[in-house]
Structure 1
């Protein structure tokens, strides 16, 4: 996908539509629509309804928590009225607040589902590691004034790769029926003053990534050894684990689908990390039953009955 191309304004899109959405979550209670607070879903559905002249309900690839950002949130909806590609993108963006934007729209078959067809989700947590407090990055990075050993953090994080019980890293109010999740990879790298924690898995428990980051920062400060994450995971007890990292540093950067759906490829965000140059879909997914099942291929074990809850999902 090229970053610059003309949007079609002549041919109405028909059938189910999928959108790529970016947002700054600072002002919202999270993705999910709530009656008592502003949400990203609520703002997007309001803007879509104005373009379609009818109510619209969207379904997302995963819910993000209060204050968490996204650069590639995937949503689908069934349009109540035909509109062109340009009308959906430009029209919706004209009715959205400045901290939410639609990046692209595409027609897909009616059996596509943003949540239930997702093969993996990927997040990046950004820490600005310097003595002085941030100014330009204050809303999208977490500040740590103490020197961090990113190499030690990376080594400690490798104990989490694979399928495990992540009870020690779930929020107290998490309502998921199981704490088992499959982490495909987790990497910690330093880029100048930035320490980036890059993690991908089938799904994430409520506050799971932020709780992992809190423990990794403790390792980075030298207060715990590289076996710290493994010891916490073995406890399976959140009350004995570490602090929860702030929401402002967390970015939902990718939701991955089978190539057959033909979703646009685009650079992974946030733009603060554009120099890394990685695009969606460049890494191989693990050979595991959930991925094969959602790709519609035979699996040797029973398929999951329901989709696991996402980061921030109650």
Structure 2
């Protein structure tokens, strides 16, 4: 029995998220179906975490155990020949027996993309949050610094989560302009449900001058969801990397 780690990229536009479910197309299901064809037996994979409907991934990680004789460099080729065009396995490697894509993860990196301009772009509609109102990048960068470090991010968690410990540590939160897009790049030891999208939505409100950058400290400390900004749309979010 070998423990295999997969590196996966996908366009989440036409998926009901990562996790297999009965009433919708999911990334996990598509990969498991492809693996079953390659290995001639059912296989369950474990992802580093769930991504919601419409969320994309540049570096999702999954792991599974199986009696497999296929060389590691051939696994991506075999799977990609069976997978739909909106999923690609970018790499495969054998890992230690106790490795688990979710429980072994030490942190993650997300990127959130905003298209800020007077007119919407049909080509970016599934890949960035369109904001017509001019955004003040300097204000957003100033506000971002208040999120760094360890905080109770309860006010930046969507309802429906049963997580008890809401303290998380953010190591990096950069806001910058790149190729006609405003990008919010965030790294941390873990993230609550919709946390990155709520942080991004709050920073957009700062950029619109509806919230002062200096209010971030008070908003974080309040722990009240209504004090923060709206949840930014799913299509702007990318799971960029998982750290082990």
Shorter-normalised TM-score: what interval?
Answer: over 0.9
Q: What is the CA distance between 1:136 and its match in structure 2?
A: 2.0
Kindly indicate whether residue 139 of structure 2 is the aligned counterpart of residue 152 of structure 1.
yes
| Residue 55 in structure 1 maps to residue 30 in structure 2 | no
1:253 paired to 2:244: no
Deviations 1:195-240 (A, max 9, x none): 1000001111001110111110010011221123222112111133
User: Residue 187 of structure 1 aligns to a residue in which SS?
Assistant: strand
Please point out which of 77, 90, 93 is paired with 1:106: 93
Which structure 2 residues correspond to residues 119-130 of structure 1 after superposition, within 5 A?
Answer: 119-130=106-117
Structure 2: distance between partners of 1:85 and 1:241: 45
Does structure 1 conserve the Cα–Cα contact (< 8 Å) formed by 2:198 and 2:229?
A: yes
1:86 Cα offset (Å): 4.4
Q: Secondary structure at the match of 2:134?
A: coil
Q: Once the two structures are superposed, what CA deviation does each residue of 1:14-58 show, in whole Å capped at 9, x if it has no partner?
A: 721111000111111211111222111111111111111100111
Distance 2:39 2:215 in 1: 52
1:176 alignment counterpart: 163
Hey, which bits of structure 1, 4+ residues long, moved more than 4 A? none
Quick check: 118-127 or 185-194, which moved more?
A: 185-194
Alpha-carbon distance in structure 2 between the residues aligned to 1:145 and 1:240: 23
Following superposition, the deviation at residue 141 of structure 1 comes to 1.0
Counterpart secondary structure, 1:37: coil
Matches within 5 A, 1:67-146: 67-146=54-133
Q: Given that residues 151 and 189 in structure 1 are in contact (C-alpha distance below 8 angstroms), is that contact kept between their aligned partners in structure 2?
A: no
Q: Give the RMSD, CA atoms, in angstroms.
A: 1.4
Aligned residue number for residue 46 of structure 1: 33
Q: SS of the residue aligned with 2:213?
A: coil
Structure number with higher strand proportion: 2
Q: Please, which runs of 5 or more residues in structure 2 have no aligned partner?
A: none
Q: How many residues align?
A: 244
Higher relative contact order, structure no. (Cα contacts within 8 Å, ≥ 6 residues apart): 2
Please name the residue that 2:17 is paired with. 30
Q: Deviations over 1:66-104 (max 9, x none)?
A: 211001011111123321234421111111111111001
Map of 1:65 onto structure 2: 52
TM-score of the superposed pair, with normalisation by structure 2: 0.96
Give distance in 1, aligned partners of 2:133 and 2:49: 33
Contact in 2 for aligned 1:54/1:80 (Cα 8 Å): no
- Partner secondary structure for residue 71 of structure 1: strand
Unaligned runs of 5+ in 1: 1-13, 258-314
SS of residue matched to 2:124: coil
Matched residue, 1:260: none
Q: Deviations over 1:164-188 (max 9, x none)?
A: 1111110011221121111111111
